[in-house]
Structure 1
Amino acid sequence: MKAASPLRLAFAGMFAMAVAMGIGRFVYTPILPGMMEELGLSTADAGWIASANYLGYLIGALAAAGSWAHGRERLLMFSSLAASAILAGAMGLTGSMAAFLLIRFLAGLASAFVMVFMSSIVFGHLLAANRNNLQALHFGGVGLGIAASSALLAILVTEHAGWAAGWLWSAVISACGFAVVALLVGSTAPANGVAGREPALPNDRSLIKIIVAYGLFGFGYVVTATFLVAIVRQGGGGRVFEATVWMVTGLAGFPSVWLWQKISARIGLYAAYAVGCIVEVVGVTASVAMGGTIGPLLGGLLLGITFIAITALGLQTARQLVPQAPRRIFAVMTASFGVGQIVGPIVAGLLAQASGDFFLASIVAAVVLLVSGAITWSAAPKSP
């Protein structure tokens, strides 16, 4: 099959990530406060729904690591992208807690498949064309999707629409994104330079540290990423301000990978990851420790400018350690990330329910982020 150009594939990856991750995963954040108010969901309920999504993400990542997917990456990616749009619409057609758990679980599965298989398609061709600089465009799709969902929320606020409309319109936007991805990808197949099945991962100390740190990062970032808009509403911010905070998060996320790639080129991948964690700690803490509008806006800004980039830096660090098994290490890292994401919302939801706010949950997340950065820093190769 003839491959699309590297730039075209990077744009395809950007739109796929916008649909499956920016919208499919994170549109739950701006819609959640409305669901809690109109359906009477508790913070613990909200945490369980989020964790169901992350459980699906974990299982999807583990499944994607298997050899069964070899040669089927393109089909699986498109099927999962379509499923992401359908499942978003399904969320707006029910009010059942059991249905929410099932739908978000399946949506997590779909998003993991898109993340692993689309990235394996895009990164393989970018590597072959020596255009790894375009990875930033691919990952920028997460920020694009978050910004799109915040713009949607702002429009729905002016129309006084309920939470269900947010899901239904998210499905429409996702379907449009699917069409764009199909047009851009064309008949392009994966090209990771590995013939047949990939080898098993080595028992390397630095690799194990990176995998563990990545899981801790999944826990640390997800508390704010899941509950930021709920934190704003709990603090008395209006719905327009909620949309503004989430918009700031998305817009900051769009160029973040490019920015941190520049930083990592100067100080190294490991150091950039650790510094990124410290910056995010400031944002996570500010979102609950600073009153008024400054805290949430600073929290959204620093979350957006770090969490997508740190996700990318972690994956790049692992791939650098295991270049001969790109899809397998990508899937294992995504699975580790998924474990942290499952535990994070449950712990945060229970802590928030017990304490009455998200302060304690956010401080716990900040500490975990610091530990993740420290472990990654310790995994850096030592100079002779």
Structure 2
Amino acid sequence: MSSPQPRPLALATGGLLALAVAMGIGRFVYTPILPAMAQALGLGKGQAGIIAGANFAGYLAGALIASTSALPGPRRAWLLGGLCASAATTAAMALASSVAAMSVLRFAGGLASAFVLVFASALVLERLAQAGRAGLSAVLFAGVGVGILASSGVVSSLAAWAWDWRSQWLACGLVSALVIPAVAVLVPPAGEARAAGSDAPAGPADRRLRLLIPAYGLFGAGYVVTATFLVAIVRDSAAARPLEPYVWAVVGLAVLPSIWVWNRIAARLGLYAAFALACLVEAAGVALSVTGWALGPVVGAVLLGGTFMSITALGLIAARSLAAANPRRAVALMTVAFSIGQIVGPIFAGIAFDLTGSFVVPSLAAAAALILAAGLVARLGRPLAA
């Protein structure tokens, strides 16, 4: 007898919690903890960029492994295993002190977050589509914002109580672990036997992918500088420093409605036009964050949170539409490009800061990358049906 199907909203909520743990906390909590950690350990921005880059390298490895057909066992088992690994590596950061140890842990955490994103998206979106409730995908992707909000609240509260950065990592790992049983209940087994997707032979891919894939890589390099160093940018600005406890929470709040908003924009303007417009909006936010205007980082946080998950989703939807015969390969290539951009971005930003003493140069370079990505995608015209 087949397992009963969960209610669509409960299923979407399970996916939301999974992404909150692995992405909102496991992947992005580094940003609010970084300033205190760097100060305590004497880390330069270049070293901080290397640690961040290790996390994104792990994400690349995890996404590539998860997109193959070689993994044995059910996808749900890999999802729950990824969640456990994400919680464990987050908590273990409290025990590390060297760049090498932190890089290893962040690499493992990045790999875990990729597994969770791939398998949570596959399981939840597939079942929502079967139930005729695909619109609830916005609930799933809101999990990133929920996790950012939760981790921001934990970090800022512990900082206000004078708890150090090690306690912040440990607390975020504990919060993540406490959520995992709820995911296990809300995303039940479904009688599947294999972890990976279809082994359908590759079909001809649309040549427009040659523009979309590099644009996606430029987006990865463009968003990640602010996403990694936003709190450090605020701390380094005398005018904006009072906003430090709140600015990362603003990013999380802006993420929550963003998928729904940009889906509506895409329905009106077309998928490619929406992608290009979102890149331009994000570029404005990245640039504003380093203008010296006291509210610049807050506006930048709103524009970053309001776009980066939406651009991610729009890009993957576009890739799938352009390679309908073998979408898994197209998504893998998009992930490779995106991850390369994410790896290069924080390393470049950290080195540029160490050379110039400011995030202005790397942030403006990131904004330029986003503008170039918008230009490439704008050339694609109206999309195929999404």
TM-score, normalized by length of structure 1?
A: 0.94
**Structure 1: how far apart are the matches of 2:203 and 2:41?**
46
**Structure 2: how far apart are the matches of 1:69 and 1:326?**
18
**Structure 2: how far apart are the matches of 1:349 and 1:200?**
40
Q: 1:190 to 1:297 in 2, by over 3 A?
A: farther
> Displacement, 1:179?
1.6
Q: What secondary structure, in the 3-state scheme, does the structure 2 residue paired with 1:92 have?
A: helix
Q: What secondary structure, in the 3-state scheme, does the structure 2 residue paired with 1:205 have?
A: coil
Partner of 1:42: 44
Partner of 1:88: 90
1:201·1:329 contact (CA, 8 Å) conserved in 2? no
After superposing the two structures, state which structure 1 stretch, 326-335 or 265-274, moved more: 326-335
Q: 1:189 to 1:374 in 2, by over 3 A?
A: farther
**Structure 1: how far apart are the matches of 2:298 and 2:197?**
48
Q: 1:179 to 1:326 in 2, by over 3 A?
A: farther
Q: 1:216 to 1:120 in 2, by over 3 A?
A: same
Letter in 2 for 1:18: A
Partner of 2:55: 53
Asked if residue 110 in structure 1 is aligned to residue 112 in structure 2, the reply is yes
Give the alignment of 1:147-226 within 5 angstroms. Answer: 147-188=149-190, 196-200=198-202, 202-226=204-228
* Per-residue deviation, residues 45-80 of structure 1 (Å, max 9, x unmatched): 000000000001111111122111375322111111
**Structure 1: how far apart are the matches of 2:54 and 2:48?**
10
**Structure 2: how far apart are the matches of 1:165 and 1:239?**
22
Aligned Cα RMSD in Å? 2.1
Give the alignment of 1:245-284 within 5 angstroms. Answer: 245-284=247-286
1:286·1:295 contact (CA, 8 Å) conserved in 2? yes
Partner of 2:126: 124
**Structure 1: how far apart are the matches of 2:182 and 2:340?**
31
> Displacement, 1:199?
2.9
Spell out structure 1 runs of 4+ moving beyond 4 A.
Answer: 189-192, 237-240
* Per-residue deviation, residues 138-193 of structure 1 (Å, max 9, x unmatched): 1111111111111112211221111111110110111122121111012136699x
> Displacement, 1:238?
7.7
Q: What secondary structure, in the 3-state scheme, does the structure 1 residue paired with 2:306 have?
A: helix
**Structure 2: how far apart are the matches of 1:189 and 1:208?**
38
> Displacement, 1:203?
3.6
2:73·2:193 contact (CA, 8 Å) conserved in 1? no
> Displacement, 1:97?
1.4
> Displacement, 1:201?
5.7
TM-score, normalized by length of structure 2?
A: 0.94
Partner of 2:351: 350
Q: Which residue, 63, 66, 83 being the options, matches 1:64? A: 66
Q: What secondary structure, in the 3-state scheme, does the structure 1 residue paired with 2:208 have?
A: helix
Q: 1:182 to 1:284 in 2, by over 3 A?
A: same
1:29·1:227 contact (CA, 8 Å) conserved in 2? yes
* Per-residue deviation, residues 283-306 of structure 1 (Å, max 9, x unmatched): 0010001422x1111011110111
> Displacement, 1:324?
4.4
Partner of 2:32: 30
* Per-residue deviation, residues 245-298 of structure 1 (Å, max 9, x unmatched): 111110011111011111111111111110001110110010001422x11110
> Displacement, 1:40?
0.2
> Displacement, 1:317?
1.2
Letter in 2 for 1:121: L
Partner of 1:335: 336
1:60·1:110 contact (CA, 8 Å) conserved in 2? yes
Partner of 1:143: 145
1:30·1:150 contact (CA, 8 Å) conserved in 2? yes
2:206·2:323 contact (CA, 8 Å) conserved in 1? no
Q: What secondary structure, in the 3-state scheme, does the structure 1 residue paired with 2:180 have?
A: helix
**Structure 2: how far apart are the matches of 1:161 and 1:24?**
20
Q: 1:254 to 1:263 in 2, by over 3 A?
A: same
Corresponding pairs, count: 381
